[in-house]
Amino acid sequence: MNIDFYLISAARRAHRLRPGKGYVFGREEGVDILLQDALASRRHAEMRWIEEGYWLVADLGSRNGVLINSKRIGQPQRMNDGDQIQIGGQVFRLQVLPPGADPASLSAQAPQISNLETMGPGYSLKDLQQQSATFTGVVTAGGVMELLQFFQVTGKSGRLDLIDGPEAAAVFMIQGSPVYAQAGTTMGIDALAQLAHKAPPRFSFHADTLPPGERNLQGSAQGILMEVARMMDEQGK
């Protein structure tokens, strides 16, 4: 499946990273990511793709070093989704997005509600969908199943809202595994199968948002996806 990688700067600019290519940061003309920063060296750092499926950052002998998550690195270090890299006075965050996600939505991030209890009684999925999203996008031809596979691969936790459909719908993930699903009044695996059969056109993801109750999806992520696929086969899709 396709996964998109972006570096988001403090100035809200999104630099798309293409696996297989290396990126040099610095003040020197001709580098891949040019830094107008007196604290940056001419060729300060390099970010390169490793075939096993991740990005590695190396200090190229800079004066002021490279920090990942506020810690200076001595050896090349792996960057994971959500990690921050500081080069001179510039800070970037690595963001992994699923197919169909809109990188422009990253600039609208706001502090997330991490616990539904802070909303008090009487919340609804429609109320939750008004909260600022971590990222948003369009559901692609791969549908909800492709989105769920993305979350399984990346191990993200949070709430996936399926929006602009006939009824409010959401799937909650913990470390990439779906644990709670609701589509209108339909709950659990039936809700997930309903969304997989006919997905609303858009989605938004809210990181680190907890499910509203006990999990209504049981088993591993792969087992849940296989069960949804079986239910879709029975429906003749």
Residuewise pLDDT in 10s, the chain (237 residues): 578 888 887 766 778 899 988 999 999 999 999 888 878 899 999 999 998 889 999 999 998 899 998 899 999 999 998 888 988 878 888 888 887 777 776 655 422 322 332 333 333 444 444 445 678 888 888 888 888 888 888 888 989 999 888 888 999 999 989 999 999 899 999 999 999 888 888 888 888 888 888 899 999 988 998 898 888 877 764
pLDDT attached to residue 114: 28
State the pLDDT at residue 210: 84
The verdict on 38 and 86 lying in the same domain is yes
Q: CATH number of the domain at 49, please.
A: 2.60.200.20
Domain that holds residue 33: 4-99
Residue 82: predicted pLDDT:
85
Hey, CA dihedral for 218, 221, 180, 187, is it positive or negative? negative
Cα 37 to its chain centre, rounded Å, is 29
The reply to whether 119 falls in a domain is no
Residue 107: its pLDDT value, please?
56
Among the candidates 73, 99, 125, a domain finishes at: 99
- Whether pTM > 0.85 for this model: the answer is no
Residue 143 and residue 90 share a domain: no
- What does the pLDDT read at residue 93? 87
